[in-house]
Amino acid sequence: MPVVCSSCEKKNAVLKRPKTGLSLCKDCFFWAFEEEVHQTISSARLFTAGETVGIGASGGKDSTVLAHVMKVLNERYSYGLDLMLLSVDEGITGYRDDSLETVKRNQQQYDLPLKIVSYQELYGWTMDAIVKQVGLKNNCTFCGVFRRQALDRAAMMLKVDKICTGHNADDVAETVLMNFLRGDIARLRRCTAITTGSEGAIPRCKPLKYAYEKEIVLYAYFKKLDYFSTECVYSPNAYRGHARAFLKDLESIRPSSIVDIIHSGENLSVKEDVKMPVQGTCMRCGYISSQKLCKACVLLEGLNRGLPKLGIGKHHKLLAQEPLTEKEEKKLKAVDF
């Protein structure tokens, strides 16, 4: 016998909400999902009327749902925001070229301006070329650091006031777990913040911070949104993979684990005397950095010098303080990484 929607009590339920366990019809689910995002946005005062907001768009399910929901809510609640899509082309053949086609279709479907910046034009390197040089072990470190800056640069070009990204509750909980397991106190403190980057960088926020990945998939599916679901061809990221698998196990036993971990992260207090990195600016490119050179410049220097591991792990400190002298470089080349 069909189950009746527990919200409207009229239509038949088509799904059981992963977050609450309630059986809902399609329309009640859409409404509940959108209202929760609106709650997140309004209670954290993420935006102010008149702002230009860049939506980080990869063509994947999270950013496609984010773009759709932001457009719906901006109209429903008259946020008064100028929305646009910002995309980064990492130069990954067989993955990003296809997903960018999805973003271009989204641009038409949602009638939003789109700006694409590429690693090739910003750094002179594509991820395809980087992987050829560094292999498949640390590629995501390069990619993550470069993407962060690339998105900021695209936002600056378009005079965007804020960037919002499609990070969902599962992503945030995974990051809390990873930073906890690594003992990375500075990141642990920052990673649950709904808005980051107020000191000099363009503020970034996560309107889907409390939205479960499973619900994002359901929303995209029932709304028939056009998104790209293939995994990156260079996606090893083993550590995050373990955190993800662990989180999925926890979720299957207790669905609230995801949001509970986020709340734990939010409520962690760091002792007064714990030393935190001081933010300054990179002496080469001017991007915010707690070292003399920002991470992207260190990684780029390594790539251009044929020392791709320079920015990875403990050796990066050396370069971050001072550019290498010839003698130091020779010494470094002799080190077996």
Q: Which residues bind ligand SF4 (CB under 6 A)?
A: 90, 127, 139-140, 143-144, 232, 234-235, 237
Range list of β-strands (E), the chain: 15-16, 23-24, 52-56, 82-89, 114-118, 162-164, 195-196, 204-205, 280-281, 288-289
| Phi, psi for residue 26 in degrees, rounded to 5 | -55, -50
The CB-of-31 to ligand SF4 minimum distance in angstroms stands at: 33
Nearer to ligand SF4, 109 or 237 (CB): 237
Annotated binding-site residue? 131: no
Nearer to Zn ion, 248 or 292 (CB): 292
Rounded CA separation 97/80 (Å)? 33
User: Which SS3 state, helix, strand or coil, does residue 165 take?
Assistant: coil
Residue 333, both tokens: 């080349």
User: Where on the phi/psi map is residue 313: left (φ > 0), alpha (ψ -120 to 50), or beta?
Assistant: left
The CB-of-54 to ligand SF4 minimum distance in angstroms stands at: 19
The string over 165-191, giving b where at least 16 C-beta atoms fall within 10 Å of a residue's C-beta and e elsewhere, is: bbbbbbbbbbbbbbbbeeeebeebbeb
Annotated binding-site residue? 65: no
Residue with tokens 């002792």: 271
Annotated binding-site residue? 56: yes
Selection from ligand SF4, Zn ion, none that 140 binds (CB < 5 to 8 A by kind) is: ligand SF4
Selection from Zn ion, ligand SF4, none that 11 binds (CB < 5 to 8 A by kind) is: none
For the CA atoms of the chain, what is the radius of gyration?
Answer: 21
The CB-of-113 to Zn ion minimum distance in angstroms stands at: 28
Element (H, E) at 246: helix 238-253
Nearer to ligand SF4, 128 or 215 (CB): 128
What secondary structure does DSSP assign to 8-41, as a single string?
TSSSBP-EE-TTT--EE-HHHHHHHHHHHHHHHH
The CB-of-61 to ligand SF4 minimum distance in angstroms stands at: 14
Nearer to ligand SF4, 94 or 144 (CB): 144
Selection from Zn ion, ligand SF4, none that 228 binds (CB < 5 to 8 A by kind) is: none
Residue with tokens 């050179």: 293
Selection from ligand SF4, Zn ion, none that 234 binds (CB < 5 to 8 A by kind) is: ligand SF4
User: Which SS3 state, helix, strand or coil, does residue 301 take?
Assistant: helix
Nearer to ligand SF4, 13 or 243 (CB): 243
Annotated binding-site residue? 197: no
What lies within 8 Å, CB to CB, of 277 at 6+ separation is 186, 290
Rounded CA separation 304/298 (Å)? 10
The CB-of-140 to ligand SF4 minimum distance in angstroms stands at: 3
The CB-of-63 to ligand SF4 minimum distance in angstroms stands at: 13
Closest CA to 57 of 48, 46, 69: 69
Selection from Zn ion, ligand SF4, none that 84 binds (CB < 5 to 8 A by kind) is: none
The CB-of-295 to Zn ion minimum distance in angstroms stands at: 8
Selection from Zn ion, ligand SF4, none that 261 binds (CB < 5 to 8 A by kind) is: none
Selection from ligand SF4, Zn ion, none that 294 binds (CB < 5 to 8 A by kind) is: Zn ion
Annotated binding-site residue? 334: no
Nearer to Zn ion, 50 or 124 (CB): 124
Site residues for Zn ion per CB under 5 A: 282, 284-285, 287, 294, 297
According to DSSP, residue 117 is labeled E
Nearer to ligand SF4, 237 or 257 (CB): 237
Binding-site residues for ATP: 56-58, 62, 88, 166, 171
Annotated binding site: which residue ranges? 56-58, 62, 88, 166, 171
